[in-house]
Chain A
Amino acid sequence: MPRWMPSLTSIPSLLVVVLVGLPVFAALYAGVAAGDGAAWDHILQNRLLPYTFTTLLTLLLAAIIMLALAVPAAWLISQYEFPGRVFFSWALILPLAMPGYVMAYSWADLMGVAGPLQSHIRSLTGLSARDYWFPNLFSTPGLAFVLASTLFPYVYITARAAFSMQSLATLEAARSLGAQASDLFWRVALPVALPAILGGLCLALMEAAADYGAADFLGVQTLGVGIIRSWSSFGEPNTAARLALMLIFIAGMFLLAARWTQGGRGVQQTSARWLTSRRTALPRATACSVSILCTIILLICFIAPVSRLIWLATETSTRTADLIPLLRSTLLLGVFGTVMAFIAALIFTLATKRSNTLRLSTRLIAAAGYAAPGAVLGLGALFILRETGQALSGTVAITFLVWIYVSRFTSAGVEPMQATLDRLPKNLDNAAHSLGSRGILHFLRIDLPLLTPGALAAGLILFVEILKELPATLMLRPFGWDTLAVKAHAYATDERLAQATLPSLLIVLAGLLPVLLLSWRLSETERV
């Protein structure tokens, strides 16, 4: 058989490639094929340009806030000893457990006119609400703040890793040349860590671009909001398609940039014995102010919003009977979506392990799904439904929704399994084959047991990601299939924030599991 011929075993993975890639390409195709002429002028002037501008401004502001939150904290934690350092090193990852929309609900309540912050200001100063200025969360900077406070851990994780992987020798050399602590940071450590930091930032911005829930709730007209409004409110599918094209372009650029900066990661790797493990102890006063700084970050990004949710939830009497149908549909969709995405991820992982020719194409397709925001994929599904003349209801709708979950999250499932495989000796398969191992027995005796830790992580991550997913679920769910995320969003946008808190808290609680897992895996691979 000639080498280039796809073997029989590559057929499942080709099927998965088509399955994962089709919704993205449907959305892309619809965007490119959307008509020209007068309508296009209208779309460009009234929709595409304003939505794109707002999205880019949000991302720019979010980037600045994320760098300000993450980089100093990462530097201090990796280089200095201060009270609570070990606690902060993992606790600063916790905000990742909060979806942007939940963060937005909680901060909207905290910062509202009747909220605790403004009430305190009034009772302290005796002013009335019209006499002072207070920042408005329902604005582009407000959205940037909300997204940055949940997504900055991406930057924090990569920055901390880059700082603590830096060769001690480099820093000692700089010291011996007379560099002071601030010099060390600006002239040596930061330039060396910059590619990694930017890589983390790009991933965070890709996630921020994919947001729909927070922007919709805060009334900021980003591309994600525009896509869903154009389709459902304005009845302009062509507009939605063009906006989707722009959004996938922006998100895709960030993904490419992240991959590209990661390519240069080898620069800062040094031999293990030069890895820094010695941290400078700070003078008492400085150490205390560093601890306070970290506490403030944690307070703003996690403790305050979560405590507010808990407080609101205990204040509000929610009938648990109302929750049961929500939990049922959330669990059913979650389990079904996880199983399908898990199978797809497993097929991907095993296929890329066996064949190099498949590797590039599968990676590309999986990355396309990963970068495509849920709103874009939902739109792709709607276009496919329209072309095939199917109605969005019942089993068809659920099938399409699960399909979109697979398309969006398969690569999130591939990652932990791939990481498990990468840690194994390269010749393990060859060793097993040379002892006569092949086929299904090889899968059962070698692949499956070795993949187990990564597979468990993958399953957990997939389940929680699907549980948190909002835009695609909102677009495709059939009647009576509201999930926790959809219901929380519906309550919140109806200004019934109190009712939104219990579903929101449940989402955060579930979200904590993979974040704790991540934090545990990080501390395994990297001594912080």
Chain B
Amino acid sequence: MTEIRPLIAETVSRSFGDHTAVDSASLTLVPGEITALIGQSGSGKTTFLRLLAGMERPDQGRILSGETVLASARQHVPIDKRKIGLVFQDFALFPHLTVLENVMFGLRALTRPERVQTAEQWLERLGLTGRRDAYPHHLSGGEQQRTAIARALAPQPVAILLDEPFSGLDPTMRDRVRDVALSAVREAGIPALLVTHDATEALVHADTIAVIEQGVILQSGPPEQVYRQPTSLDVARALGPVHKIGASALPADWHTAIASNSETLWYRPEAIQIGAGKALKVTDSKLAGPVTELALSLSATETIYAACQPGSPITAGDQVNASINPALFFDFASKST
């Protein structure tokens, strides 16, 4: 087996005509970790994945596996020589091959009994044993998904790249398929990139999150860090809702606790905690699944928004007591937004 090495992008750029899809992006995918790349559609995340995979060639920058250069302005190792596993949103299973044959497709150095045996092990690992002789069009979405993962992992690739692999699935089965699939990816111990536009998916399942916007990787780090210490408004928004408020509108003791000189502040709704503290009037209340979203009146003109899980229902017109978690207020003062 080949030595497991990180997959590295060094200031990689790619343009299509006037449009810069990826703009000097750098990212290191560490073996055994799942790195989530999140961004809106058109942010360049899929192009970045295609560059790593070898489906596109970078205009500038380099792509390396450890010390080995896979792509640069002059060099280009084609996709079929990179040994990088790919999982697509539409799965791209071979329609003329059974599940077993799909998984065997990339196993070529072995004898046929060995290939069958290896493929069967992967099917078992992903809970597909009963479906080995089925054709892709007979499979459910989740089974297709797991077949695609097994097919990508079976040849022991040096890295695996997943392009929105779960967005095509039915929400009720998505969590279960995702747990099975991602634990198989993690156990393979190779660098893994999960491209997604689902912030929750990234926060729950990734070891590292990178946020990409207009082709630029704005920030990368552990989920906790990227969520709680975003370096820009774009990053903060990419991972969850944020609201804007003028510093002067806040009660004096809240302002002191936040300790920022900035005129404009941003906060996550869960920064406003209900239970004790300043008495505020509720102007609107909406039940949004597990949390309740409240609009609280700070003054005649200023409203602050909170997300909380109250013990009993709160309705508009009620009085509540609120305090803040200053760590979830951001000023972005020293950084560009």
Contact = CB atoms under 8 A, between A and B. Distances in A.
Contacts of B53: 430, 434
A430 B92 contact: yes
A435 interface: yes
B88 A436 contact: no
A446 B105 CA distance: 10
Given A425-B90, A427-B88, A431-B86, A436 B155 contact: yes
B263 to A, nearest CB: 47
Given A425-B90, A425-B91, A427-B90, A432 B105 contact: yes
B79 A430 contact: yes
B151 interface: yes
Interface string B261-282: 0000000000000000000000
Contacts of A3: 57
Contact of B55 (A430, A435, A446, A449): A430
B80 A438 contact: yes
Greatest chain A CB density within 10 A among B57, B79, B90 is at B79
Interface string A188-226: 000000000000000000000000000000000000000
Contact of B80 (A425, A427, A436, A445): A436
A431 B95 contact: no
B86 A430 contact: yes
Interface string A399-425: 000000000000000000000000011
A434 B95 contact: no
Given A432-B105, A436-B80, A437-B105, A449 B86 contact: no
Nearest to B155: A435
B94 A446 contact: yes
Nearest to A429: B92
Size category of the binding interface on chain B: 20 to 34
A435 B91 contact: no
B91 A434 contact: no
Nearest to A3: B57
B205 interface: no
A273 interface: no
Contacts of A527: none
A426 interface: yes
A428 interface: yes
Interface string A421-464: 00011111011111111100000011001100000000000000
Nearest to B50: A430
Contacts of A449: 96
Greatest chain B CB density within 10 A among A425, A427, A434, A450 is at A434
Given A424-B95, A428-B92, A428-B94, A434 B105 contact: no
A443 to B, nearest CB: 13
Nearest to A426: B90
A450 B105 contact: no
A56 B93 CA distance: 51
A425 to B, nearest CB: 4
Greatest chain B CB density within 10 A among A3, A430, A431 is at A431
A427 B108 CA distance: 21
B251 interface: no
Contacts of B57: 3
B59 to A, nearest CB: 10
B81 interface: yes
Given A424-B95, A450-B95, A437 B80 contact: yes
A500 to B, nearest CB: 45
Contacts of A433: 78-80
Contacts of A424: 95
A353 to B, nearest CB: 14
Contacts of B141: none
Contact of A431 (B78, B82, B88): B88
Interface in B230-271: none
Contacts of A450: 94-96
B215 interface: no
B83 interface: yes
A434 B94 contact: no
Contacts of A431: 86, 88, 92-94, 148, 151
A454 to B, nearest CB: 13
Nearest to A428: B92
Nearest to A431: B92
A427 B91 CA distance: 8
Given A430-B53, A430-B55, A430-B86, A435 B106 contact: yes
Interface in B130-159: 148, 151-152, 155, 157
Nearest to B90: A425
B84 interface: yes
Interface in B88-130: 88, 90-96, 105-106, 108
Nearest to A450: B96
Greatest chain B CB density within 10 A among A435, A446, A449 is at A435
Interface in A288-316: none
A522 B285 CA distance: 54
A70 B335 CA distance: 67
Contacts of A425: 88, 90-93
A114 to B, nearest CB: 58
A254 B79 CA distance: 42
Contacts of A445: 105
Q: Across chains A and B, which 4 residue pairs bring their CB atoms closest together, nearest first?
A: A435-B106, A427-B92, A431-B92, A434-B86
9 contacts: A425-B90, A425-B93, A427-B92, A430-B53, A430-B79, A434-B85, A435-B106, A436-B80, A450-B94
Given A424-B95, A435-B105, A437-B80, 5 more contacts: A425-B90, A425-B91, A431-B92, A431-B151, A450-B95
